[in-house]
Chain A
């Protein structure tokens, strides 16, 4: 988990849906937008995100799974590991906030006419405060990338605004945890890297018990 690939220099050639981030921001799609109209590149981007699934409810269900994971990690695993000091305080605070995200996403999915996923069973490979915090860093940073990666394919502006207000909290959690364990609070430098669903699953998937 410590090799989480977040230590890239800014504007490094990270893949963002097949486009490097540098070109993503400064050249590629925006240039295409300027030349052909942003409407012309929108379908390309939507297609890139289409792997996320069918519509907003589907995207929110993916987010809900991650929030279940984070909430369970802080509230259940945190107690098992036996934390102290700042780690304990963060686990309590962040666990409560992730639980609020679970509640909000569940309600939003229902509002959209979807069926919220059931809470999965999780298995967390953390046995000490230090391994707990290392995993917390991975989870929070993955959460940031997951929301940032999925958000542009949300159709509802209201859902987008809500996702934005959640991802900002994930980023704050990530920074606080990273500072606590002596890592950079800005592992992606100036631009947080959006993650694809596959990248998120590579990090989170092994923590979810198969039904």
Chain B
């Protein structure tokens, strides 16, 4: 059995100050770490609910009372566990935005044709449906979807792009896997799992393209925690 990656993620009752609004904003802050983030996400009952709504839902850089009021009033009917799920959904949304933009740029660059080109287009479209689903899920939970980040991706040759895509998809798969055990709502979990295995399918497909293993971790896929993933995507943020 692969060991649990989540022992240190147990919710704590530690009270936390409100965090900056979006995941991307948090990402660029040096003091960001996932432990703190997830403590924040997991200890909804222990801290003021409004602060969590702000922290978990906001993509707006403006944290005025009026901005906070709308999501807060919507979300106040949701159970407190949904705030952690909102954080995770917005984190996933940020990653999906980047993947969608990446594939869009790859398609626009016209580096691939034929069967491979068709697969790349498929994958881009599928990432876009993930964006839509995650946005919808955030809104249904009463949150505000994270803002679309500006990406920047090195795109020079088909070989280089395929390699980068392989890396990105493996990262995406490990990111979803890293959050599965943190998700509280069975519905959100089911949706995340449905996306997780599609990221894995993309990664394996690209593995065949770049002649690398379709199962680089062997029989048990390794999860990646939030801080690892956020550090890895940092070079792709404009």
A pairs with B: yes
Contact B1 A30 (CB under 8 A): no
Q: State A177–B4 Cα separation when bound (angstroms).
A: 29
Question: Which of A41, A101, A165, A185 is B187 in contact with, Cβ under 8 Å?
Answer: A41
Partner of A161, one of B142, B202, B219, B223: B223
Residues A191 and B137 in contact, CB atoms below 8 Å apart:
no
Whether a CB of chain B sits under 8 angstroms from the CB of A130 is no
Q: Given A175-B200, A186-B198, A186-B202, decide whether A165 and B220 contact each other with a Cβ distance below 8 A.
A: yes
Cα A33 to Cα B141 with chains together (Å): 7
For residue B202, which residues in chain A have a CB less than 8 angstroms away from its CB? 175, 185-186
How far in angstroms is the closest Cβ of chain B from A161? Answer: 4
User: How many residues on chain B are close to A (CB under 8 Å)?
Assistant: 62
Could you tell me if B1 and A168 are in contact, using CB atoms closer than 8 angstroms? no
Which residues of A have CB within 8 Å of B127? 190
Find chain B residues with CB under 8 A from A20 CB: none
Q: Are B126 and A186 in contact (CB under 8 A)?
A: yes
In whole angstroms, how far apart are the Cα atoms of A24 and B194 in the complex? 11
Q: Is B190's CB under 8 angstroms from A165's CB?
A: no
Residues from chain A with Cβ under 8 Å of B70 in the complex: none
Give residues of chain A (1-52) contacting chain B, Cβ–Cβ below 8 Å. 10-11, 16, 21, 24-27, 29-31, 33-42, 45-46, 49
Interface-side segment among A75-83, A117-125, A147-155, A196-204? A147-155
Q: Mark A166-188, 1 if CB is under 8 A from B, else 0.
A: 11111111111001000011101
Q: Is the CB of A175 within 8 A of B82?
A: no
Which residues does chain B contribute within 8 Å of A97, judged by CB atoms? 215, 218-219
Q: Mark B188-207, 1 if CB is under 8 A from A, else 0.
A: 11110111111011111101
CA distance A152 to B78 in the complex (A): 20
Known A38-B185, A161-B181, A172-B215: A194·B141 in contact at CB below 8 Å: no
Q: Is B38 an interface residue (CB 8 A)?
A: no
Contact count band on A: 35 or more
Contact of A168 among B5, B75, B196, B207 (CB under 8 A): B196
Residues of A within 8 A of B196 (CB): 164, 167-168, 171
Residues of A within 8 A of B2 (CB): 104, 161-162, 165
Task: State whether B140 touches A33 (Cβ < 8 A).
Answer: yes
Choose among B1, B79, B188 the residue that contacts A107 (Cβ–Cβ < 8 A).
Answer: B1
Q: Does A131 contact B (CB under 8 A)?
A: no
Contact B194 A191 (CB under 8 A): yes
Residue of B nearest to A182 (CB): B115
- Within 120-142 of B, Cβ neighbours of A (below 8 Å) are at 122-123, 125-127, 129-130, 133, 136-137, 140-142
Interface members, chain A 79-123 (any B CB < 8 Å): 93, 96-98, 100-101, 104-105, 107-108, 111
- How far is B201's CA from A10's CA once the two chains are assembled, in angstroms? 15
Q: Is the CB of A169 within 8 A of B220?
A: yes
Which residues of chain A have C-beta atoms less than 8 A from B133's C-beta?
25-26, 190-191
Q: Is the CB of A160 within 8 A of B180?
A: yes
B16 within 8 A of A: no
By a beta-carbon cutoff of 8 Å, the part of chain A in contact with chain B is 10-11, 16, 21, 24-27, 29-31, 33-42, 45-46, 49, 93, 96-98, 100-101, 104-105, 107-108, 111, 144, 147-148, 151-153, 157-158, 160-162, 164-176, 179, 184-186, 188-194
A-B contact pairs, 21 of them (CB 8 A): A11-B129, A27-B136, A30-B137, A33-B79, A33-B187, A34-B74, A45-B187, A151-B190, A157-B4, A160-B181, A162-B4, A164-B181, A165-B220, A167-B197, A168-B200, A169-B220, A171-B198, A171-B201, A171-B204, A172-B207, A190-B130
